[in-house]
Structure 1
């Protein structure tokens, strides 16, 4: 009988949590595929591992009998991976993953700094902060650049940049005449959040923050999530777009005069967005080059 190792890891997680949703969060997957994998494992071992009630999950006698054995196999698998990584660590490039949703001017500067490091580096723009975090936790990256608001508490981090929030409006909009605005000034306006759409975690956090500030006219206007389409809708419908205040970035240049105006949001009621380096403690222990690279990056970014 062949047993899938990943399913054993999922079995141990569910047994530890006795809750499919919490186990899925711990594994950084969603609950439905986790449930399917457990059912496939139950088919492989020839019996149910869990009793699934509406309010609780319990181990069956078979599940209880197999749990310690499964845990030992998962631990051996983790030890195997650590041994392999330790052997090859100094022979491979340091792997750096970068969120695509930090301001573009900062990303350009960051990539320049990384290219000048004294240790060999491979640097890729990975996707959202959640994508970078997942790869860090899985050991697929050594260092990540993420938006700090969504960082996983299991990671170490160091903030390397902060950006005020901002709005983009038509140049003839009354808000365009202001040097800065309070977030509460948007309560009677239609506010566009589409620029955060490619990053679901950031989008959800942005929406909650707007609602807490009493802004409930939140609209989605882009059918494909494109910045140009958002700019067209802001112009023709006189909307307010929420974004990071970074005038030298791609978005800052897109929403520049004469058609538009970028206005910063006062930080009294609206938290700035932080960009941070992130890494795992285990990764730093296995590879001393991780902390050396982080020190160099921080020093070069100032």
Structure 2
């Protein structure tokens, strides 16, 4: 029987590539959001679920705030701004740089508008000397003196995460458990499979190509033996990109599929049989109907 009596809804926000998904995964204790060193990896709002003692924490991992250049970009920015409504606390994640950038200032302004409590988390502290954090904290205190707490952390090493969870406990409200025990994300398994494959596209492909890709899972079924069959179609924007994704004699697609299958098997806890195809949908990111058809919807 679960002893959850309190719930805290926390939005994790920040500029692209600041470590929001890495932090969500570290707190949840398993991979629920894909990670890469390329900006705009996260496209949807993803819920990560953490149960600690009598409290369920629901972390909303959001896309990085950026200037949109396409219909997909517009959607992603809308996801960020709408995620700052109806939550118990915002967690603003920043890098250890002693300067408040445009995206950070825009998020601070939005948080003030919504009048929600905010914790400032300075991430990647494992990359700087402790003394270098003081001017970072001073710069943010000057930009806004309304932070409830400022906590230096490293999502990579786990440093400071206990302190962060202790602070987040203060925002828990009495209420029923929203997600059942053992559930670590709201994403359907089918969607997780698509996101894992997209992560490997980001990992293996250079420059702009992976940002012009979308993944559609066309088959997701379980055999009597427990093996999961997954059919996936990768869409790209140009015929030349299709050739690069497939690679010489199919080598690149094999590599991407093999890496994806390994992570899918870890997540599902069973053998996965994955088949992948590549198709061209020119400029799909600028077509609102295509963007919606790939699951990026305003809800």
Q: Is the structural similarity TM-score above 0.5?
A: no
Q: Greater helix percent: which structure?
A: 1
Between Structure 1 and Structure 2, whose CA radius of gyration is higher? Answer: 1
State the TM-score, normalizing by the size of structure 2: 0.28
State the TM-score, normalizing by the size of structure 1: 0.28
> Greater relative contact order: 1 or 2 (C-alpha under 8 angstroms, separation 6 or more)?
1
